């Protein structure tokens, strides 16, 4: 079974590791769409701290990740799922219900986020030092 997931994975932390680890355990291969810098800018009006090639390099180095590609647009999810022949789409539960429309082509699973850690919070802590 091929599992696909998406994310920015900026300032990589244990919450990211844990969702990828749990996503991988649902199948035999894990494909990760890493959001591009441009996609992030269009969503949040700021660029990630780490540029996309570095974020993708980190994700690609994980033992439970099979393949990494760049997610260039939120509108292309259906295409990415088909292109990568994914059987399961995994997202964190901050996206609960948001991707149910893809249930016609794959199983959609939302996993619980790891509590008390986020990139935004790390950035705020570092800023305050
Ligand atoms: N995550 C988690 N626990 C945390 C923080 C993040 O499980 N404490 C999960 C999120 O739920 C998400 C993944 O880690 O599934 C990546 O998180 P982000 O980088 O914040 O992803 P996001 O910017 O929401 O990008 O197409 C959708 C986007 O690409 C998702």
pLDDT digits (tens, 9 = 90+) for 14-73: 999 999 999 999 999 999 999 999 999 999 999 999 999 999 999 999 999 999 999 999
Distance 40 CA to ligand 1 centre (A): 12
CB 114 within 8 A of CB 22: no
Active site residue 18: no
Could you tell which of 5, 9, 19 is best to mutate to test the pocket of ligand 1, judged by most ligand atoms within 8 Å of the CB?
19
Q: For the range 72-75, what are the long-range contacts, defined as Cβ-Cβ under 8 Å and sequence gap of 24 or more?
A: 72/36, 72/38, 72/39, 73/39, 74/39, 74/43
Catalytic entry in 18, 44, 77, 127 = 44
How far apart are the C-alpha atoms of 31 and 33, rounded to whole Å? 7
The residue-averaged pLDDT of 70-79 equals 97
Active site residue 85: no
Q: Which domains does the chain have, with CATH numbers?
A: 2-128 (3.40.50.620)
Whole-number pLDDT of residue 15? 97
Distance 70 CA to ligand 1 centre (A): 15
Whole-number pLDDT of residue 75? 96
Distance 42 CA to ligand 1 centre (A): 16
| Closest alpha carbon to 35 in 87, 88, 112, 95 | 95
Tokens of 23: 């996503």
pLDDT digits (tens, 9 = 90+) for 83-128: 999 999 999 999 999 999 999 999 999 999 999 999 999 999 999 9
Tokens 């901050």, located at residue: 94
């Amino acid at each position: 079974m091929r599992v696909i997931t998406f994310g920015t994975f900026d300032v990589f932390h244990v919450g990211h590791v844990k969702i990828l680890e749990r996503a991988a355990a649902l199948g035999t291969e894990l494909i990760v769409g890493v959001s591009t810098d441009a996609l992030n800018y269009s969503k949040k009006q700021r660029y990630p701290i780490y540029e996309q090639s570095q974020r993708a390099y980190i994700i690609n180095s994980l033992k439970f990740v099979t393949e990494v590609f760049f997610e260039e647009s939120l509108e292309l999810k259906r295409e990415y799922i088909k292109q990568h022949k994914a059987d399961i789409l995994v997202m964190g539960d901050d996206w609960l219900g948001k991707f149910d429309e893809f249930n016609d082509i794959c199983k959609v699973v939302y996993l619980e986020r790891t509590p008390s850690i986020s990139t935004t919070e790390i950035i705020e802590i570092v800023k305050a030092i």
